[in-house]
Chain A
């Protein structure tokens, strides 16, 4: 199979049957589900410890009403983490490289935080549009700027995730192509390039985890302002 650079970003299909739904669901199926056991096996123990730790980290700044969001935010976090990390394996399709999926995640969640704020405490929510202590003359301009920044948030969330992952995957592809192409003619340069690839892969692993975390963290921050 001769792969072009577009193949890893193409929506997977097997003989005309679209597999994208399976591609999105599969990573979460790898995680063990909670049993009724008191003492679980190692993987389940580590998973629950990890989820506890992250939930505490994310939910401490929120007030009691915000804790209702912990389920969806933690599930989102585990989804993104598993999808991102599994996408680093060869010949896999990473759903989060598609802008459509990321926007589908970011826009409704951001809108939910906005509407919660506008419904429950409209003046405070709108009051966030003007930072404290601004000079009187700047107020109109600043409100316009803050509104723009507010409306651009979902776009930023989606595009941030997409761009980071797509760029990372593309870089891996390009540098490995360079390594393969240089192998017959200049093996030493090829080896240097493969070292770069090694470092890049480590960076990509970090980026995968960080991007998932940042997505959820920003959502929780937007929630903090509005709940």
Chain B
């Protein structure tokens, strides 16, 4: 696989190479090009080349220009093996070589087809997106409504909070006042009771008790038990 670039003496062409011919030259009996037969056809007809070949062979053999020796037998063996091999496996090998090339081309074609498919899907997606754009008006309206509702709810929440806070402070003030009044009342009652109890001297106590007994006796006289 040596690139013999260093051995080139002339300028290298970088133009694209001409395409390879589809098939090789026509060949008869695997060796002799068809052009030879066509060349001899006008003068000697169809049997011309064969007569030439046979005549040449017989000439070489009879004049002992080609001597039959042991190499002839060896030649016959190897040539028969080669011809047998080519006839039996030639088509298979050609098909294999074609398959190698086909696989190469198929791989590249697969890449190309993949790319085409991807681009087509992308086009579909894009069209769908364009259709979606037309409906965006409704989308925005719905969004706007949502936001308005959120703002309203937030505002109401805050109102409620303010109301609750103010009520709490007012309740506190009211409770303070009530407490104060209560305390004042209790204190006053206690003070009055204390002073009254203090002011009752023992002599006054005896006089009041005696008066109570006299009153009771008087009452008992009037209120006889209704028996």
B residues near A39, Cβ cutoff 8 Å? 20, 101, 104-105
Once the chains bind, are A74 and B74 in contact (CB under 8 Å)?
Answer: no
Interface of chain B residues 6 through 23 with chain A (CB within 8 A): 17, 20
- Candidates B1, B17, B70; contact of A176 at CB < 8 Å: B70
Closest to A7 in B: B71
How many interface residues does A have (CB within 8 Å)?
38
- Candidates B4, B78, B80; contact of A90 at CB < 8 Å: B78
Once the chains bind, are A1 and B74 in contact (CB under 8 Å)?
Answer: no
- The complex places the Cα of A88 from the Cα of B80 at a distance, in Å, of 13
A164 at the binding interface (Cβ < 8 Å): no
B residues near A2, Cβ cutoff 8 Å? 67, 69
Residues 199-214 of chain A, each 1 if its beta carbon lies under 8 Å from chain B, else 0: 0011001000000000
B5 → A minimal CB distance (Å): 11
User: Which stretch from A44-52, A135-143, A218-226 is at the chain B interface?
Assistant: A44-52
Residues of A contacting B: mostly: helix
Residues 85-111 of chain A, each 1 if its beta carbon lies under 8 Å from chain B, else 0: 000111100000000000000000000
B68 at the binding interface (Cβ < 8 Å): yes
A11 at the binding interface (Cβ < 8 Å): no
Interface of chain A residues 19 through 67 with chain B (CB within 8 A): 33-43, 45-46, 48-49, 51
With contact pairs A36-B17, A198-B81 given, residues A3 and B1 touching in the complex (Cβ less than 8 Å): no
- Candidates B3, B4, B20; contact of A40 at CB < 8 Å: B20
B residues near A33, Cβ cutoff 8 Å? 2-4
The A/B interface has a contact count, at CB < 8 Å, of 87
User: Which stretch from B34-42, B91-99, B142-150, B199-207 is at the chain A interface?
Assistant: B91-99
- Candidates B67, B70, B78; contact of A201 at CB < 8 Å: B78
Once the chains bind, are B81 and A201 in contact (CB under 8 Å)?
Answer: yes
A residues near B96, Cβ cutoff 8 Å? 46
B226 at the binding interface (Cβ < 8 Å): no
- Candidates B17, B24, B71; contact of A3 at CB < 8 Å: B71
- The complex places the Cα of A90 from the Cα of B67 at a distance, in Å, of 13
- Candidates A45, A90, A194; contact of B75 at CB < 8 Å: A90
- The complex places the Cα of A35 from the Cα of B5 at a distance, in Å, of 11
Once the chains bind, are B73 and A176 in contact (CB under 8 Å)?
Answer: yes
A-B contact pairs, 8 of them (CB 8 A): A37-B17, A42-B93, A176-B72, A176-B77, A180-B68, A194-B73, A198-B77, A201-B74
